[in-house]
């Protein structure tokens, strides 16, 4: 790294975001011998993990069960012992790429305006929660409506109890975890309301956070109104049959607090501004087999790429992003790549391209709930491989490794499409 006058820094690579993804990617770059800086807008590393005081993290990464802060601390300690430079309280305003492929990142930091010149960038900004405006719940606008993540921060970090009688709208994992957390601190959780006919969270969270606390779960039910003037007084729930609301079966649940757990969206405002192509399904960058975006030398990983269900998979993917970025910095170029496509009953597949000459880690999500499912990999009418899945559901990611053996005897071209179907 070379630090110049007027708050200008030159370095091999920059990772934007200091959560689990950013730290894993930066450590991989450092291990490969390249100078790297992490830029983090908060005053600490660790990201959202620092407010996730429940356990369940690290079973794959560390072979033991940890809380969020414990998981993050393992990586923070590694970063401290590495050569990775960390800039906290620093916000990236934009970045640009010149004709020679060199990048400039413009930041606001405690030092003032900061410019970082680098060759490679890894995007790892994580994701954000959808809010009431995103799901258009009618009714008045009283106090007491929070996203589940905000309520988690209020309770776990700020020591503030958001209310006494709680309804959770949406059954995403953070909503389920907050239903349990609110129960632990003495709140009465009246219900979890889910518009889909199946839960949006992991099965283990349905069991541990709802069933164990006798919290009702209303599936195929839509929140059609929020009542209250100064403070939430209740919500109206309308059941759905065959996807159609049945108003005559509507009922009211009295409460003073509503927590929204209605999905996560990759944080890609910066990506869009820089000209990164986004996938219309995941809302994250479209990347090739090396996790590189359409901009040469700009990579993406973790929840900014697609929303994961486990932080362990975030770290696994981000570590590879760092390794791929290091290979690119060494001037190694990929051979021919083929296209990856989501087929029947598959919502999305990432990355969007596959390198047949090496091992590829592919992630996807089912569109249905199904037991004893069979994942098929097809090129045209030919099934080149199958994988049995005991159970698939939209809330749990499917992953598969594909390598050179899967393509033996097949004539491949850049126009070849590998389709994933259930």
Token digits of residue 159: 């020591």
Mean pLDDT value across residues 188-195? 96
Cis geometry, peptide bond prior to residue 351 (ω within 30 degrees of 0): yes
Q: Residue 202: which pLDDT band, with cuts at 50, 70 and 90?
A: confident
Q: Which CATH architecture has domain 131-262?
A: 3-Layer(bba) Sandwich (3.50)
Quickly state the pLDDT bin for 273 (edges 50, 70, 90). very high
**pLDDT above 70: residue 5:** no
Is the confidence at residue 309, as pLDDT, over 70?
Answer: yes
Whether 44 and 88 have beta carbons less than 8 Å apart is answered as: yes
Question: Where along the chain do its domains lie?
Answer: 2-128+265-334, 131-262, 340-421
Q: Looking at residue 2, what is its pLDDT?
A: 61
Cα–Cα distance, 164 to 3 (Å, whole number): 53
Rg (CA), the chain: 23
Say yes or no to pLDDT of 54 above 80: yes
Q: Sign of the C-alpha dihedral, residues 222, 228, 229, 230?
A: negative
Question: Residue 82: exposed, middle, or buried by beta-carbon count in 10 A (0-12, 13-18, 19+)?
Answer: middle
Residue 104: strand, helix, or coil: strand
At 4 the pLDDT is 59
CA gap 22, 136 in Å, rounded = 33
Closest CA to 313 of 401, 380, 414, 192: 401
Is pLDDT of 1 > 70? no
Predicted confidence at residue 395, as pLDDT, reads 85
The DSSP secondary structure of 253-301, one letter per residue, reads EE-SEEEE---EEE--HHHHHHT--B-TTTSSB---TTSB-SSTTEEE-
Element (H, E) at 24: helix 20-31
In angstroms, how far is the first alpha carbon of the chain from the final one?
48
Q: Can you say whether residue 272 is alpha, beta or left, with left for phi > 0 and alpha for psi between -120 and 50 degrees?
A: alpha
Which pLDDT tens digit goes with each residue over 358-414? 999 999 999 999 999 999 999 999 999 999 999 999 988 999 999 999 999 899 999
Q: What whole-number distance in Å separates Cα of residue 225 and Cα of residue 238?
A: 9
Average pLDDT of the chain, as a whole number: 94
Q: Is 391 helix (H, G, I), strand (E, B) or coil?
A: strand
Paired tokens of 1:
């790294």
pLDDT in tens, 316-356: 999 999 999 999 999 987 778 999 999 999 999 999 999 99
Q: Please tell me the distance from the alpha carbon of residue 47 to that of residue 16, in angstroms, as a whole number.
A: 12
pTM of the model: 0.93
The pLDDT value given to residue 134: 79
Indicate whether 289 pLDDT > 90: yes
Side-chain-side CA neighbours of residue 260 (13 Å): 20
Percent of the chain with pLDDT over 90: 86
List the one residue out of 392, 397, 400, 324 whose CA is nearest residue 362. Answer: 400
The pLDDT tens digits of the residues spanning 55-114 come to: 889 999 999 999 999 999 999 999 999 999 999 999 999 998 887 778 999 999 998 899
What is the dihedral sign for C-alpha 116, 118, 121, 124? negative
Torsion of CA 42, 46, 49, 53, to 10 degrees: -100
When pLDDT is averaged across residues 234-242 and rounded to a whole number, the result is 95
Residue 32 — pLDDT band, cuts 50, 70, 90?
A: very high
How many residues does the structure list for the chain? 422
**pLDDT interval class at 203 (50, 70, 90):** confident
Q: Tokens representing 160?
A: 């503030």
| Superfamily of the domain at 2-128+265-334 | FAD/NAD(P)-binding domain (3.50.50.60)
Could you check whether 2-128+265-334 and 131-262 share the same CATH topology?
yes
């Amino acid at each position: 790294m070379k630090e110049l006058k007027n708050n200008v820094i030159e370095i091999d690579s920059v990772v934007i975001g200091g959560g689990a993804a950013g730290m894993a990617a930066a450590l991989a770059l450092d291990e490969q011998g390249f100078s790297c800086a992490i830029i983090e807008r908060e005053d600490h590393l660790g990201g959202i993990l620092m407010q996730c005081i429940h356990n369940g993290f690290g079973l794959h990464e560390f072979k033991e069960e940890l809380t969020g802060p414990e998981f993050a601390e393992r990586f923070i300690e590694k970063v401290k012992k590495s050569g990775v430079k960390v800039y906290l309280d620093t916000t990236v305003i934009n970045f640009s790429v010149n004709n020679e492929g060199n990048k400039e990142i413009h930041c606001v930091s405690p030092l003032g305006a900061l410019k970082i010149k680098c060759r490679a960038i890894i995007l790892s900004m994580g994701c954000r929660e959808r809010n009431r405006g995103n799901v258009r719940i009618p009714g008045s606008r009283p106090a007491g409506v929070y996203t589940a993540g905000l309520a988690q921060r209020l309770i776990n970090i700020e020591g503030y109890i958001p209310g006494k009688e709680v309804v959770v709208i949406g059954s995403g994992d953070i909503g389920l975890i907050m239903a349990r957390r609110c129960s632990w601190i003495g709140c009465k959780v009246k219900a979890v309301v889910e518009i889909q006919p199946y839960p949006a969270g992991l099965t283990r969270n349905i069991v541990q956070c709802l069933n164990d606390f006798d919290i009702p779960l209303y599936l195929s039910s839509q929140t059609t109104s929020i009542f209250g003037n100064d403070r939430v007084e209740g919500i109206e729930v309308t059941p759905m049959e065959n996807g159609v609301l049945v108003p005559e079966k509507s009922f009211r649940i009295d409460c003073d607090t509503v927590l929204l757990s209605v999905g996560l969206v990759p944080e890609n405002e910066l990506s869009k501004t820089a000209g990164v192509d986004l996938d219309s399904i995941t809302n994250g960058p479209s990347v090739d087999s090396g996790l590189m975006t359409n901009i040469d030398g700009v990579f993406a990983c973790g929840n900014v790429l697609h929303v994961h269900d486990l932080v362990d998979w975030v770290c696994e993917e981000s570590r590879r992003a760092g390794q791929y970025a290091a290979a690119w910095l060494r001037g190694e170029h990929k051979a021919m790549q083929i296209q990856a496509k989501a087929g029947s009953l598959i919502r999305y597949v990432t990355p969007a391209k596959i390198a047949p000459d090496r091992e590829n880690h592919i992630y996807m999500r089912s569109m249905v709930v199904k037991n004893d499912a069979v994942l098929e990999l097809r090129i045209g009418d030919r099934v080149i491989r199958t994988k049995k899945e005991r159970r698939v559901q939209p809330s749990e990611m499917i992953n598969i490794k594909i390598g050179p053996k899967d393509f033996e005897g097949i004539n491949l071209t850049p126009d070849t499409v590998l389709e994933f179907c259930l």
